[in-house]
Chain A
Amino acid sequence: EAEVAQSPRYKITEKSQAVAFWCDPISGHATLYWYRQILGQGPELLVQFQDESVVDDSQLPKDRFSAERLKGVDSTLKIQPAELGDSAMYLCASSYLSTSGGDTQYFGPGTRLTVL
């Protein structure tokens, strides 16, 4: 069964350093999402792509976060500089919007970021 791949699974960094996360969605899924989940909370949407275009980045802290999906397939989320409050699980999801309109978002295993 096809899965969303993410790497690394775990990342420890010091504050003010740069970090990057990678996501490879399920083949054929045009829509890709990045979420951030703080411990004990539900995930919150950071950015959404449709193919290579950003559809929604209203919740992305653009002073330090950036995201790209250059060829409309895999995606990278970057934080520079990292802050203590960025410690969280970063989840990637993808979906295929069917002609019937209903679709399911499939999530990857996540990247656990710890900022020291």
Chain B
Amino acid sequence: KQEVTQIPAALSVPEGENLVLNCSFTDSAIYNLQWFRQDPGKGLTSLLLIQSSQREQTSGRLNASLDKSSGRSTLYIAASQPGDSATYLCAVRRGGADGLTFGKGTHLIIQP
């Protein structure tokens, strides 16, 4: 059974810092990996999707990398802002139309 682990569980940094969130998964036979953001009491917003054949994806200040063979992904946030404060969730998909298996998330606080 696929298991997804996210480290750290919580992170608090001053505004302007660059930071890295980590995600690991136990079964490397994935179809794709997706990073989401969740604000308190809200639904999930998709940030980046990386196909299993890709190494990284970028969107604005966000960059996600994927090392499928080692079962790892990182989300890099450049020049963090207070508005980036949220919980960040990593999820993997086994097959093209399968449901997602999520980690527990990293709760991020950016201090003004």
Contact = CB atoms under 8 A, between A and B. Distances in A.
Interface residues of A, number: 31
A91 B44 CA distance: 9
Size range of the chain B interface in the assembly: 20 to 34
Given A55-B97, A104-B49, A42 B89 contact: yes
Given A50-B97, A55-B97, A42 B34 contact: no
B104 A40 contact: yes
Interface string A35-62: 1000011111100101000011000000
Contacts of A41: 104
B105 A42 contact: yes
A102 B49 contact: yes
Nearest to A102: B51
A43 B100 contact: yes
A21 interface: no
B43 interface: yes
Interface of A: 4, 6, 31, 33, 35, 40-45, 48, 50, 55-56, 89, 91, 93, 95, 97, 101-110, 112
20 contacts: A35-B99, A35-B100, A42-B102, A43-B100, A44-B102, A45-B101, A48-B98, A50-B97, A91-B43, A93-B44, A95-B97, A102-B32, A102-B96, A103-B96, A105-B100, A106-B46, A108-B43, A109-B42, A109-B43, A112-B41
